Structures are given as C-alpha cells and as structure tokens.
Amino acid sequence: MLQPQRPIRPLPDVLISQIAAGEVIERPASALRELLDNAIDSGASALTVRLEQGGLGSVQVEDDGCGIPAEELPLALLRHATSKIADLDELHHAAHLGFRGEALAAMAAVAEIEIISRRAGADGARIHASAGQVAAVQPTAAQQGTRVTLRQLFFNLPARRKFLKSPQTEYAWCADVFKRTAIAHPQIALRLWHDGQLKLQFERDPSPHGLDRLAAVLGEAFSAHALPVSAQIGPLAVRGLICKPTAARARADVQHIIVNNRWVRDRTVAHGVRAAYADVLHGALQPQYALLLDLPSELVDVNVHPAKSEVRFRDSSAVHQAVRHAVEQVLARAGGEASSSHPSAPPAAWEQPPSALPTTAALAFGVARPSPSPIPWDALSRAYAPLATADAAPLQAQDSAAPRPYAQATDLAAAQPDDFPLGFALAQLLGIYILAQNRHGLVIVDMHAAHERIVYERLKAAEQADAPVAVQPLLIPAAFAASDAEMGAAEDHADALRSLGVELDRAGPSSLVVRATPTLLAHADPIRLARGLLADLISQGTSSRLQERRNALLSSMACHGAVRANRQLTLAEMNGLLRDMERTERADQCNHGRPTWRQIGLADLDALFLRGR
Ligand SMILES: Nc1ncnc2c1ncn2[C@@H]1O[C@H](COP(=O)(O)OP(=O)(O)O)[C@@H](O)[C@H]1O
Ligand SMILES: [Mg+2]
C-alpha cells in the first residue's frame, strides 16, 4: 500500500551514505578491495590483511604508507572527501586507485569502523565511527602508516546482512580480492590472516616484469602450463602469462585482466584473448590467463563504475587487436616449439618446452647403465614421404597447387637429428596412434588430430594467400537426400560455400549434389564434407563475424579432410606426417585444443620398469 503523499524533504546524511554504500560496499570482499586500494594509494610497500569469520566478523588492513594527519581523520570518513583529486582534469588522469571519496564514508554508515594512523614525524591518532555516528579523534601510539578495522558489516541493516553468505564463502571472495591485488601490485609485500592463521603470503617481487609474482599467486598448476607474454604495441604494453591451450578448463575462473594496475572486468580484452585462442580452442573450454596492460592514462577512462571494476578504452578496437595479436604470437610460437623452425624457446623459468626435455636420460639415474644404441638418423631421415590428405590408400603425388612446406629428402639426409624433434616413425598402434622414437625416447602422435591441424593450417594459409581456392570437380557428382534445413542453408550460403571451394547444387526438391571440392581435400568424402559444412552453417546462423565463421568452417573442413582412424599408413607416410607437424604452426594442439602428441622420455619408460632403482 502506498502512503499518502508526504512533503518533499532532503534525505538525512546517514541515509544518503547508506544508500550510496549499496553501490560500493556489497560484502566483506568489496570492503576489503576498497581498503586495499587505499593502502596502495598511500604508497605502502607492505600490507597485512586480517579477517575474522570470512570478513563477517571483521576486516582489517594495515599498511606502512604515508598515514593520515590527525586533523584530517574526520574528513576521511566524510562523504565525497578525498585527497586524491582536486578537479576534473585530475580525474581524467587519475593515478590513484580511489578518487570518489566514498568508501570510508560508506563503511562508517553501514558498519563499525576504526582508523588508527600516524604520519612520519607526527603522533598517532585514532577515530571511531558506528552507523554514521563519528566519535572525536584521540591520540594513541601507532606505527607509521594506517590500520583500518571494519567490524560487523551491515549490523544496522538486517535486510542487507541477510544477503551475506557463510563465512567460508565470504572468505573465498576475500581471498580472491587479495590475490587480484597481489597480481596487480607485485612490488608490494602482502599477508593474509584468517581467524588467526596465516593463509597467504607474497614477498616483494623484485623482477622488473612482475611475472614471478603472477606465477606465485596463480600457483604451480597454472605456471607449469604457462607461456609468458610481453609485447609493446603502440602505446599499449601487454605482459603476463597465458596457459597453453591444452591447459584450458571448463570454468572461466582464472582470467585476470589488470589495466594500469587495476584489476578489472573487461569484455574488450577478454574477447581479444578469446579470439586469439579461437584457432586452438574450440567449444566451451576457457583459457587461463593473467594479463597486465599499461597505457597512458588519457587513453582509458577509469570513472565508469562505482566499484571501479570496469574501465573504458578510448579506442577499444585498437586494444582488442593489440591483445589478440600479442596472445596469438605467443600461441603460434608455442605451437612451433616442437619445430626446428623456432629453435629459441623463451628463457623464462616456468617454460619447459617439449624439446627441452633432458637430453641424456641416463643423467636421471644414479646407476650406470648402457647408453641407448645409436639411432641411424641418416637412413631414417631418408625414409619419409608426404602424407596425402586422403583416406585413399595409394600414396599420391601432391597437387602442385598444394603448399609443400617441408624440405626435400635430399636436404634431410644432411640434417642433424635435432632437426627432427618428433623423431622417426616405428609403427602404427591400433590404427589410431603413430609411435615414433626421437632422442628423448618415445613419441606418441594422435594421427587424426595431428593431420587435422595440418590440413587446417594449410587451408588457412591458402586462404590468406588470397588466391581463389583450388577446386577439383568431381568425376562423378555426389548426390544426397537433404533435409529442409540443409536445402535452405545450401541456398542461403551458396556464395560462402563456393568461396570455400565446395560447389553444391539443388538436384531436386529434397536432394543436393556436390559437384566440386577443394583440391586440398580431394580425397575426403564429398557428401560428409558438404553435410558437415551445412550443419555448421545452420547452427551458426549468420550473426557471427565472417572471419571467425570462416575459420570455424575451415576447421570443420579440415576435420572431414583429415586422415581417419583405422587407415593403415606406411612408415614413409607416418614420417611425412611428423615432418609436416614440425613445420606447422600450432601443431601441438588439434583444432579442438587437445594435444596432438606426447613425449614419453626414456626416464619415464625406465620408471615404468623400475629400472635403475
Ligand atoms: N590507508 C590509508 N592511508 C592513507 N590515507 C588514507 C588511507 N585510507 C584512506 N585515506 C585517506 O582517506 C581519504 C578517503 O578515503 P576513501 O573514502 O577510500 O576515498 P578515496 O580513496 O576515493 O579518496 C583518502 O582520499 C585518503 O586521503
Ligand atoms: Mg578509497
């Protein structure tokens, strides 16, 4: 029931603060973020967080920063009072994390707050407020710096307190905030205590790039699969760690974006990363990454969100492209780690490229053991042949239009063993895997996944060369019965299909006929290829951007064109595939982000047989 209209009156100040608090302080974790931001703005070099009951009991942040003069303590609790900006111009160049002068006032309105602070060369002072009632400043003994303690959040607002979760959950959110701060500020030492126990501790990271801190915060599981990013693109510097596609996970919970030292949620950057992974990560898998972006403050607006968790880029498409490019470069290089064409692996400590596996497996054993018999590299290296992109058994001479990126056999004879990181084929296992030996031991290759990747990269290369797709008419056109949806898609997307090298015509009210397929896929089943493409076109509709769609279509074509399980390969064909993999960017993962090959070192094999113990 609405009350009869009452006269208009200004809201009482505490009520204004309580309403405003809703935007800034939602739960212990958001209070913690504000307190951490203040501590960092104060120039702290070390800070300590103490939580009780996940922050529901209390949240305390102590820093060794500049401190607050005793006479300014009441102002610190006043709404819209700040020492950080004085005019609009400074707002646009905000170098501090805070600038709204809202956080402490909001906390004072919805909780109990105590600030103890001391400036260098001055005496310490304490102020206390509860539910908007501010007590007088008192002198007290204190370390230099500031300690803010927040107790009983929302004790005076039961309706809001009800929305808080269990101490465990609230603690987890607080720990996330703590970790984000640790990532964004590697030069600051941080400690987190919970209910009297030291939970997390990060020493200062003295490295100039701050990536050691990143690795420390994100943990062993992440850093073991991480690749360093470091790029300067115009005014934008991008650095950080990204995971190999094989380490992608179902949840998007390890995705950190830090812009000018602020941890933010940003769709532009997230999408740029996603686009870079598009080629190596299909479906629902999420990449893990932590990227730190630095750009001149006039190119980014930080004042778009009360909780300051979003920013707006002046030129978001430039940022998108730069991020995408930086990540793509690293992923492409990572794919080439198995390749002789990219011998220089990044030097960072967390990087262990497959080619850097121990060269002398015997070193791993305490006992002397016979060295493995020498491998006849020369003879082996001659025994290779290109793998036709076909299920057809006889090995065909490659079409001259098809790219032949691999070396000729004559060059290979002179080459060193190191030029063939994937080694030489021994056999095919169950029609699925190729077994090969290299100097480290056994290499197992998923035949279909690897070939699919190679075909895909070739299709893309051919496409990027911008030449019309080489098309091969079918000797006998292949007709098939089609659903209404397939009929419609064939008509709607006739141009797209033709540009991909697939010629598809109506052969009746409910049948289609394939007349030509791309030369690169000359041996693929034309009907399966056409149906696969139609299914993709139907499920994707027309909304997504053409390039992304094209890559998805090329990828689906590669899948249909790649050698299928149970096809017998000759040793020469298998070696051809290994050489192709070494020459292909991103050959380490198939188009779906699964690994295409694995190394099982001699040490692993010895361990299996308990040798040398
Ligand atoms: N840990 C701290 N060290 C030094 N000064 C602080 C600290 N926390 C708060 N202050 C002072 O109190 C003011 C108000 O803080 P706050 O309400 O968070 O607003 P803002 O950070 O937007 O300025 C700050 O501008 C700063 O001068
Ligand atoms: Mg603040």
Q: What pLDDT, in 10s, does the model give residues 305-325?
A: 777 788 999 888 889 989 999
Instruction: Kindly give, in sequence order, each residue whose CB lies less than 8 Å from that of residue 467, ignoring residues fewer than 6 positions away.
Output: none
- Domain annotation covers residue 456: no
Tell me what pLDDT residue 129 has: 96
- Domain annotation covers residue 294: yes
Tell me what pLDDT residue 407 has: 30
Pairing assessment for the beta strands 424-429 and 503-508 based on DSSP bridges: unpaired
**How sure is the predictor about 359, in pLDDT bands with cuts at 50, 70 and 90?**
very low
Q: Does 63 share its domain with 141?
A: yes
- Is the pLDDT at 418 greater than 70? The verdict is no
- Amino acid (one-letter) located at 173: W
- Is the pLDDT at 464 greater than 90? The verdict is no
The larger pLDDT score, comparing residue 343 to residue 165, is at: 165
- Domain annotation covers residue 347: no
- Is the pLDDT at 40 greater than 50? The verdict is yes
Q: Does 437 share its domain with 574?
A: yes
Which whole number is the average pLDDT over 317-343?
A: 71
The larger pLDDT score, comparing residue 335 to residue 451, is at: 451
Domain finish residue from 167, 185, 202: 202
Atom of ligand 1 lying closest to residue 102 CA: 17
Which whole number is the average pLDDT over 39-67?
A: 97
- Amino acid (one-letter) located at 562: A
175, 200 contact by CB (below 8 A): yes
- Is the pLDDT at 415 greater than 50? The verdict is no
Ligand nearest to the CA of 107: 1
Q: Does 63 share its domain with 134?
A: yes
- Is the pLDDT at 604 greater than 90? The verdict is no
- Is the pLDDT at 607 greater than 80? The verdict is yes
Q: Domain limits at 183?
A: 13-202
Q: Does 238 share its domain with 90?
A: no
Ligand nearest to the CA of 69: 1
**How sure is the predictor about 565, in pLDDT bands with cuts at 50, 70 and 90?**
low
CATH of the domain at 521: 3.30.1370.100
- Domain annotation covers residue 352: no
Tell me what pLDDT residue 430 has: 80
By alpha-carbon position, which residue is closest to atom 12 of ligand 1? 76
**307 CA to middle of ligand 2, Å?**
10
- Of 142-156, 262-276, 323-337, where does mean pLDDT reach its minimum? 323-337
Q: Does 217 share its domain with 142?
A: no
- Is the pLDDT at 373 greater than 90? The verdict is no
Residue 305: helix, strand or coil by DSSP?
coil
Q: Does 233 share its domain with 193?
A: no
- Amino acid (one-letter) located at 525: D
**181 CA to middle of ligand 2, Å?**
14
Tell me what pLDDT residue 413 has: 38
Q: How far apart are CA 70 and CA 74, in angstroms?
A: 8
Mean pLDDT of the chain: 79
CATH of the domain at 368: 3.30.1540.20
81, 105 contact by CB (below 8 A): yes
Atom of ligand 1 lying closest to residue 81 CA: 14
By alpha-carbon position, which residue is closest to atom 1 of ligand 1? 39
**34 CA to middle of ligand 2, Å?**
5
Ligand 1 probe mutation, 37, 38, 148, most atoms within 8 A of CB = 38
- Is the pLDDT at 391 greater than 70? The verdict is no
The larger pLDDT score, comparing residue 339 to residue 3, is at: 3
Q: Does 427 share its domain with 511?
A: no
**531 CA to middle of ligand 1, Å?**
63
Which whole number is the average pLDDT over 33-38?
A: 96
By alpha-carbon position, which residue is closest to atom 25 of ligand 1? 82
User: pLDDT tens digits, residue range 473-513?
Assistant: 888 889 999 888 888 888 888 887 888 888 999 988 889 99
The alpha carbon of 549 is separated from its chain's Cα centroid by a whole number of angstroms, namely: 21
- Is the pLDDT at 17 greater than 90? The verdict is no
The alpha carbon of 95 is separated from its chain's Cα centroid by a whole number of angstroms, namely: 27
CATH of the domain at 310: 3.30.230.10
User: pLDDT tens digits, residue range 512-541?
Assistant: 999 998 887 777 788 888 888 887 777 665
Q: Does 383 share its domain with 325?
A: no
Which whole number is the average pLDDT over 389-411?
A: 33
Domain finish residue from 183, 202, 221: 202
Ligand 1 probe mutation, 17, 33, 34, 41, most atoms within 8 A of CB = 41
- Domain annotation covers residue 524: yes
Q: Does 82 share its domain with 229?
A: no
Atom of ligand 1 lying closest to residue 67 CA: 4
- Of 187-201, 234-248, 572-586, where does mean pLDDT reach its minimum? 572-586
- Is the pLDDT at 174 greater than 90? The verdict is yes
- Domain annotation covers residue 253: yes
Q: Which two tokens stand for residue 28?
A: 């212990």
Tell me what pLDDT residue 435 has: 93
- Of 17-21, 371-375, 503-507, where does mean pLDDT reach its minimum? 371-375
CATH of the domain at 69: 3.30.565.10
Residue 439: which of 407, 416, 459, 467 has the closest Cα?
Answer: 416
**316 CA to middle of ligand 1, Å?**
31
Ligand 1 pocket, CB under 6 A: 34, 38-39, 42, 63, 65-68, 76, 82-84, 98-105, 146
Tell me what pLDDT residue 375 has: 39
- Domain annotation covers residue 344: no
> Structural domain tally of the chain?
4
- Is the pLDDT at 156 greater than 80? The verdict is yes
- b/e per residue, 455-490, with b = 16+ CB within 10 A? bbbbbbebbeeeeebebbeeeeebeeebeeebbebb
Q: Does 545 share its domain with 577?
A: no
Which whole number is the average pLDDT over 441-459?
A: 85
- Is the pLDDT at 384 greater than 70? The verdict is no
- Domain annotation covers residue 613: no
**40 CA to middle of ligand 1, Å?**
10
Which whole number is the average pLDDT over 405-417?
A: 38
**57 CA to middle of ligand 2, Å?**
21
**204 CA to middle of ligand 1, Å?**
23
Q: Does 556 share its domain with 570?
A: no
Domain finish residue from 202, 220, 247: 202
Q: How far apart are CA 25 and CA 31, in angstroms?
A: 6
Ligand nearest to the CA of 147: 1
Residue 205: which of 177, 184, 229, 222 has the closest Cα?
Answer: 184
**How sure is the predictor about 74, in pLDDT bands with cuts at 50, 70 and 90?**
very high
Q: Which two tokens stand for residue 426?
A: 């021994």
Tell me what pLDDT residue 36 has: 97
Atom of ligand 1 lying closest to residue 85 CA: 23
Ligand nearest to the CA of 120: 1
- Is the pLDDT at 303 greater than 90? The verdict is no
Which whole number is the average pLDDT over 332-354?
A: 38
Share of the chain above pLDDT 90, in %: 35
Which whole number is the average pLDDT over 395-423?
A: 44
The larger pLDDT score, comparing residue 140 to residue 2, is at: 140
491, 509 contact by CB (below 8 A): no
Q: Does 514 share its domain with 533?
A: yes
Which whole number is the average pLDDT over 608-613?
A: 77
